């Protein structure tokens, strides 16, 4: 189940956000209105939105300006995919933030303002 959720969340993160805005019928609200089998409680929707924000945090941790090279970014990209298959995005974000703090990278939460 976690693998399926991580795969769906990752594919949503990778897909272009403007498509949903350009075609409102592709929003979750519109899809769930058409397909009752995918409806969720408000609590579940809120939880998954939080997981989506955590995915954005994971993506931000791996994003650096093109002129900055950090060897651990390749480590992050490979490991992140595997970690998302086993854990929820918020759990992965906490682990990656701890790893960045331990390594003292420029993306470490302790280094950011």
Residues of the chain by 3-state class (helix, strand, coil), percent to 5: 75, 0, 25
CA distance 55 to 58: 5
In a domain, 108, yes or no: no
pLDDT at 16: 44
In a domain, 60, yes or no: yes
- Residues spanned by the domain of 49: 2-103
Q: Please say whether the beta carbons of 107 and 61 come within 8 A.
A: yes
Tally of domains within the chain:
1
In a domain, 113, yes or no: no
In a domain, 20, yes or no: yes
pLDDT tens for each residue of the chain, 113 residues long: 666 665 565 555 545 445 445 777 888 889 999 999 999 999 999 999 999 888 888 877 777 665 565 666 656 677 778 888 888 888 988 888 887 788 777 667 776 65
Q: Please say whether the beta carbons of 81 and 75 come within 8 A.
A: no
In a domain, 75, yes or no: yes
Q: Please, what is the Cα angle at 56 between 60 and 94, to 5 degrees?
A: 80
In a domain, 112, yes or no: no
In a domain, 47, yes or no: yes
């Amino acid at each position: 189940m976690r693998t399926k959720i991580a795969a769906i969340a990752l594919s949503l993160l990778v897909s272009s956000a403007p498509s949903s805005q350009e075609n409102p019928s592709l929003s979750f609200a519109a899809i769930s209105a058409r397909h009752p089998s995918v409806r969720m409680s408000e609590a579940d929707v809120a939880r998954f939105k939080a997981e989506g924000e955590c995915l954005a945090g994971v993506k931000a941790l791996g994003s650096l300006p093109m002129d900055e090279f950090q060897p651990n970014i390749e480590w992050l990209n490979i490991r992140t995919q595997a970690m998302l298959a086993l854990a929820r995005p918020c759990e992965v974000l906490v682990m990656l933030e701890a790893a960045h703090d331990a390594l003292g990278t420029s993306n470490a939460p302790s280094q950011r303002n």
